[in-house]
Chains A and B, each alone.
Chain A
Amino acid sequence: MPRLTIDDLKKIKEKHRSDFTLREGGYRAKVTVHMGTCGIAAGARAVMTALMDEITKANITDVIVTTSGCAGLCAKEPLATVEIMNHPPVKYCDLNDEKMREIFREHIMAGNPVEKYALVAGCESTY
């Protein structure tokens, strides 16, 4: 490593922000992909991959992704819940790669829930 300046200390901190957002909390949005056996069978894995890909491309650190078990709505899998801090969570159903990418752009980045894919808004939040 080259010799650092005081500015470099801040840059290093910035560079590792996404790891520390996970560890310290303080994220802006959280997406939960339901990955029960049913979800995985219905293609939750592809939904997850698409989401992670979008986040990487957008180069943002304040959105975290988690998984959870079956949501009890196996017929409508894959499901995902998007929670923007201080807003009611929105559950999306019958997802696929494309829909997830659209939700990422519209809801997570622009702040407008994508009603056509939404199952319910305002169910129990998880944070």
Chain B
Amino acid sequence: MDKVRANLMLCAGTGCVASGTPKVKEALLEELKKRGLDEEIKLVLTGCNGYCAEGPVMAVYPDQVFYQKVTVEDIPILVEEHFLKGRPYQKLMFKEPEKKTAIPRMGDIPFFKHQVLRVLRNKGLIDPEKIEEYISRDGYQAMAKALTEMTSEDIVKVVKDSGLRGRGGAGFPTGLKWDFASKVKSDIKYMLCNGDEGDPGAFMDRSVMEADPHSVIEGMVIGAKAIGAHHGYIYVRAEYPLAVKRLQLAIDQATESGLLGGNILGTGFDFHLEIYLGAGAFVCGEETALMRSLEGKRGMPRPRPPFPAHKGLWDKPSVLNNVETLAQIAPIIMNGSEWYRSLGTEKSAGTKVFALTGAVNNVGLVEVPMGIPLRTIIYDIGGGIRKGRKFKAVQLGGPSGGCIPESHLNTPVTYEDIVATGAIVGSGGMVVMDDNTCMVGTAKFFLEFTADESCGKCTPCRVGTKILLDMLTDITEGKGKESDIETLLDLGRDIISTSLCGLGQTAPNPVLTTIKYFRDEYESHIRDKWCKAGVCRNLTTFWIDEKLCKGCGACLRACPSKAIIGEKKQPHKIIQEVCVHCRTCYEACKFKSIKILPAGFEGDPSELLEAAAAAGEGKKGDSK
């Protein structure tokens, strides 16, 4: 008997492996064997499903049941109940945050239901370490078509007409880039893939490389044919060991099968592909710096023109595309440009993958048609703000991007509309922030990153980001000056207009957008020495409102500095001299009786709090 009646797709992506997949796998295999089910039920290890926070995750087919947080202890009962007796095991199913009802099927879970999978089409459906599985999902068919039935011009035309734009950040039309490179005469050209993924928190590209490495390779071969390249490199950061391993395995298997290397599929076309490991510097994701790094030199950008399409790697014409861009090529070749355009908007066609994180209920990778409103992603897919808190801002585009407030939540996610807000779509980082976030602190966080990662070649970026950071640090420590806001704005604009590469040209965005939408926070930090979110320690006084305090003792027990006193059922009090402003009590209080006041505040704050509450309400009203 070799008929298999069920496939268990257990996630073996980086996240799930870290949270226990290897042990779960052993336990599952053992239990299936013990129950005599090991021949009829097949265990398949997949790449990242983009749902790492709830890992290890596992999908069961044909039932389409989705399990999360699977532990070794769950295995015996899971196997007996579901795989032997056919009763899906509720304990491991997704549950809606408020209702607690279990949702068995993946397709019914809101997080997955609203997604449209093109880039992530094979996510969780194949074993990325077996080329046959990729081929079974029509893999390499598009490459075969491109190599046998299409000219270079045909390929360029389809990709141009599709409207596909680069997913690495800049959104440059892919077809146009290929067109430029294809028209340059040269005996040697290079087709390159950018798998550097430097934005903090982003993991779209890692997920694709781990879960579907062949889709990137196939896109590269098609691109190589389009521009006339016979050599290529995938530049991946060394911090992605699993992605590197799977890519290498995929390259080896493809080469062995004649799908890479010399005379691909007997068509006479050659394409040799290698992996190059990067050391994880953010600037090495920038195209000219990446090419220098590939040449074995220090990764620093250079002025453009000349553009890489004319003078790239080793001064030869080169095309560099992002992982996600390349993963879309095969379906476009198979299904045509009209198909691709059927989703998205006129100028932002197709789908985009976002890494949704932060203060939302459901975090993970989200692939959606471009043009849907931010609100849909945050509320319908993300399940709204965690712990019933209030939305404050969504950060798009990582260190090059900006913060978008509630009043702009209906903005459709397209390149143009997001830029109009001051942020950028970027590579797809999407961090949701609630009312516990200090916006000055957020800007400071990103500037710390860019100031650190600036390569130092040009002065505006090297010195400018440092000055921005120092001023932000001063503001968060209570040393801000009234003129600081204007200086930040002026300097920010100067850095943008004079920096050499995209790093400096976008680094001030987090500062500019937070000033644009949250100027009052900067002002209260500077003028009132008051961080209303209670994050900047020097700019807070924590105070217990006696009228609201029930004397439950939660804050007293939580305080690490023993700064809170009070009898049971009597209002408690914070000894200001002892308090270290860590906000632990604020989080612990269930009755919202702890208030955040300006630094060094004494006396009765009721008037101040009323005014602040009224201002908050007013602002909320404005936004509707």
Contacts and interface: CB of A to CB of B under 8 A. Distances in A.
A2 B258 CA distance: 8
Contact of A67 (B85, B131, B135): B85
B136 A20 contact: yes
A9 B141 contact: yes
Contacts of A56: 1-3
A30 B61 CA distance: 13
A116 interface: no
A55 B3 contact: yes
Which residue, of B6, B85, B138, B259, has the highest number of chain A Cβ atoms within 10 A?
A: B85
B87 interface: yes
A15 B7 CA distance: 16
A69 B86 contact: yes
A67 B144 contact: no
A19 B5 CA distance: 9
Contacts, number: 103
B72 interface: no
A55 B136 CA distance: 21
A35 interface: yes
B567 interface: no
Nearest to B253: A1
A12 interface: yes
Contacts of A4: 257-259, 265
Interface in B136-151: 136-141, 144, 148
A113 interface: no
A83 B569 CA distance: 65
B266 A65 contact: no
A63 to B, nearest CB: 9
Interface residues of A, number: 41
Contacts of B2: 56
Given A3-B258, A22-B4, A66-B5, A16 B86 contact: no
Given A23-B9, A53-B1, A65-B5, A36 B85 contact: yes
B577 interface: no
B216 to A, nearest CB: 18
A52 interface: yes
A50 to B, nearest CB: 10
Interface in B11-54: 40, 42
Nearest to B87: A69
A20 B130 CA distance: 14
Nearest to B139: A9
A118 B135 CA distance: 41
Contacts of A69: 85-87
B133 A16 contact: yes
A53 B495 CA distance: 72
Nearest to A50: B1
B84 interface: yes
B622 interface: no
Interface string A9-35: 100110111111111110100101111
Contact of B136 (A1, A3, A16, A48): A16
A95 B305 CA distance: 77
Contacts of B132: 12, 15-16
A5 B266 contact: yes
Interface of A: 1-6, 9, 12-13, 15-25, 27, 30, 32-37, 40, 48-49, 52-53, 55-56, 64-69
19 contacts: A3-B258, A3-B266, A4-B258, A5-B266, A6-B265, A16-B133, A19-B42, A19-B136, A20-B136, A22-B6, A22-B7, A25-B62, A25-B64, A34-B86, A35-B85, A56-B2, A64-B5, A65-B40, A68-B87
